Structure 1
Amino acid sequence: MRRFLFLGMLMSVVVPIGFARADSASAISGKMADLPSGEAIYRHICQSCHMADGQGAVGAGAQIPALAHNPRLQVTSYPATVILNGYGAMPWFSGLLSDKQVADVVDYIRTHFGNNYKDKINPSEVAFMRPHLTAEEQ
């Protein structure tokens, strides 16, 4: 009995010790090479939280911001940085999407949902903003 209690106490100390990782969409499944456009990326990844109409949502203890008529999208680097690094409850997608895919989805959300921002972000700008990932994170 004492041995059982000792093992139980030992496991309660040993098991919780481990690596804590931020939520990452890259843990989902490799790369999203088959998503050829900003719209396809939005429909496949973003709309589950931001909704098909870009209106955002509230629930599960989180408030998902609306992308529709969003003045924060005026500067191209803001949505690109959020997509690459995550923000709040949103996971980061830097290990999942290529520079071109990030640029495509940024351009898509900035020209849809009542947004009319004409300037585009270049994939080379996204590459400059991209965080450096370890091999394990890629």
Structure 2
Amino acid sequence: MKSTISLGAMGVAGLALVTAFVAQAQDAPGGATSVEVSQEGREVYEQICQACHMADGKGGGEAGAAIPALAGNPNLADPAFGVGILVKGRGAMPWFTDILTPGQMAAVLTYVRSDLNDYPEPITEADVKRAIAASEAPTPDCSSCR
């Protein structure tokens, strides 16, 4: 069972209660296994991603110009796959390092993986920052490799 909780009016005290509830629920047999505390991932998806990937995440288009489905996408089982796409881009998919913060990228990837798929492991801001740093690392000069 998945619950969505908005922190808009709840504030920090409410967040502490939610965190305590989640910890207790996860320890209880048959309790909740994930609670989405932030709407940020959903909001980023709705404002940016769904224009191409559609509201249901099923993509669309004709052969040769198809927009890949995010819903039911087995590639997203690997957390690094989605991070790499957002950080480096691929095909017609632009990179998002100039548009979204690492936290926003982590939130939207977590949303896509958990709500449009069944991959509960969250993507963290640290995961995204590591991928950005790796993509910015200079390539070695291989003139001495020959």
Q: Which has the larger radius of gyration?
A: 1
TM-score (norm 2): 0.62
Deviation at 1:95, TM superposition (A): 1.0
TM-score (normalised: structure 1): 0.65
The equivalent of 1:82 in structure 2 is: 85
Runs ≥4 in structure 1, deviation > 4 angstroms? none
Q: Does 1:126 align with 2:95?
A: no
Asked if 1:68 is matched to 2:71, the reply is yes
CA distance in 1, matches of 2:63, 2:81: 25
Return closer, same or farther for 1:49/1:60 CA change in 2, 3 Å cut-off. Answer: farther
- Whole-angstrom distance in 2 between the partners of 1:72 and 1:89: 17
The 2-side partners of 1:45 and 1:75 are apart by 22
Consecutive unaligned residues in structure 1, runs of 5 or more? 1-35, 133-138
Alignment check: 8 A CA contact 1:39 1:108 kept: yes
Q: Does 1:47 align with 2:56?
A: no
Structure 2: gaps spanning 5 or more residues: 1-38, 137-146
**1:55 counterpart letter in structure 2:** K
Equivalent position amino acid for 1:121 in 2:
I
Decide whether the 8 Å contact of 1:84 with 1:93 is kept in 2: yes
Which of the pair is proportionally richer in helix? Answer: 2
Q: Is the 8 A contact 1:74 1:117 kept in 2?
A: yes
Q: CA RMSD in A?
A: 1.9
How many pairs does the alignment contain? 97
Identical pairs, percent = 42
